[in-house]
Amino acid sequence: MGLPRFTRPKGGDGESSPNLYVANCGPAVGLSFDNIMSVFGTYGEVRGVYAADESGTRVIVSYHEDSSAQAALRELDGRPCSDLGGRSLHIRYSAQSLGKVKVNDAVPVSTSDSDLKIPGVYLVHDFVTAKEEEELLAAVDCWPWQHLAKRRVQHYGYEFRYDIRNVNTKQYLGDLPSFVSPVLDRIKMFQKFDSSTDVCLDQLTVNEYPPGVGLSPHIDTHSAFEGSIFSLSLAGPCIMEFRQYSKGVWLSRHTSSCDTEEQICDNSSNFLRRAIYLPPRSMLLLSGEGRYAWHHYIPHHKVDKVNDSEIRRGSRRVSLTLRKVRKALWRVDTGNLSSKSIRSSLVAELRSISLIMEKSYCDDG
Ligand SMILES: O=C(O)CCC(=O)C(=O)O
């Protein structure tokens, strides 16, 4: 069975329904699904928040009750919403159709980093053995999980706060657990790809994804994390998509109207897409351009199409993401990056900072 599919409104206000089609809202404009869920949750119990399409700028908010959708539409449509980065949302009712989501959206999926051709992205297959995988899974399962809307997480070293997309460097949780030591030792091998790769990592996030759950497109906040990002896949496979958004999508809300952004987003050529297959036990390194200039994204699929095969996600996928928390003042790691890469990276970062500032303003006020 696929994920539910919702129809785009045909025009007019549409029939009342518990499902809302919300435009100018989504990960590509700096709003995470958790953030959207929490704002819409003010008007009633939300069943789920789904990407309406591949743009990253339109979502479906699905409530249990029609009355919640009516209240949210009345209060949020066409007005700047301070809890959603001041964006003006465009909201219509949407209906759930009988169709199912396609298995894949026709982006060719590479099975190796050389085929993916994004500088700074490296994939090492069989980074751990099947026995080590089993031991790592048993070890993480001995620790308590934190429940997010769609997946479970654990944080070590420092907690990553999804509401402000940052870590509190003053709250050190302690050394990374011993179960991850063999992985940290082996990570040193990546220095052979790039001798400047920093392998002194002090933050671990464990993600557990049930089937059909992925991760919104994002660039890991670089005021929070310096250097490279490592991610070990365990238990189940998935594909990771990389997106490089074109200029229009990132126009600041102060310099562009929402309509302009919508127009640009309607054109499916507004971002480049590449994808790579991540089998269990593989280690992915995101550095340089792959780290800063491309959003990475795990599509919400139960089945991934990889070349001519359809590969079902396992009953769970667990990833161990290792990073280094930035303690000193943030400075832009420009390294060998092109000016285009620096620009998209900075814009993503400024989006994060503006969300953080708005959040602390609301908390203070
Ligand atoms: O699950 C993964 O492999 C990626 C995780 C990730 O991108 C993150 O935690 O920011």
pLDDT per position as a tens digit, 122-174? 999 999 999 999 999 999 999 999 999 899 999 999 999 887 778 888 889 99
DSSP 179: G
**pTM of this structure:** 0.64
Fold entry, domain 109-364: Jelly Rolls (2.60.120)
CB burial string 184-205: b at 16+ within 10 A, e below: bebbeebeeeeeebebebbbbb
Q: How far is the CA of 333 from the centre of ligand 1 (A)?
A: 21
CATH number of 4-100: 3.30.70.330
Q: Is the CB of 261 under 6 A from ligand 1?
A: no
pLDDT band per the 50, 70, 90 thresholds, residue 332: low
Ligand 1: which residue has its CA nearest to atom 9?
321
Q: Residues with Cβ < 8 Å from 170, sequence gap 6 or more?
A: none
3-state secondary structure of 318: strand
* Structure tokens, 7: 């129809």
Residue type, 330: W
Q: How far is the CA of 259 from the centre of ligand 1 (A)?
A: 32
CB 248 within 8 A of CB 268: no
pLDDT of residue 74 exceeding 80, the answer is yes
pLDDT band per the 50, 70, 90 thresholds, residue 333: low
What pLDDT is recorded for position 362? 34
Ligand 1: which residue has its CA nearest to atom 7?
296
Domain ranges of the chain: 4-100, 109-364
Atom of ligand 1 nearest to the CA of 209: 1
User: How confident is the model over 177-210, as pLDDT tens digits?
Assistant: 999 999 999 999 988 877 778 889 999 999 999 9
Q: How far is the CA of 215 from the centre of ligand 1 (A)?
A: 7
pLDDT of residue 237 exceeding 70, the answer is yes
Angle at 309 between CA 304 and CA 313, to 5 degrees: 35
- In whole angstroms, give the CA distance from residue 108 to residue 321: 25
- In whole angstroms, give the CA distance from residue 114 to residue 107: 17
Mean pLDDT of the chain: 81
Sheet arrangement for strand 109-110: 109-110, 271-278, 238-245, 295-298, 215-218
Name the residue of 148, 239, 321 to mutate for ligand 1: max ligand atoms within 8 A of Cβ.
Answer: 321
Q: Do domains 4-100 and 109-364 have the same CATH topology?
A: no
Ligand 1: which residue has its CA nearest to atom 2?
319
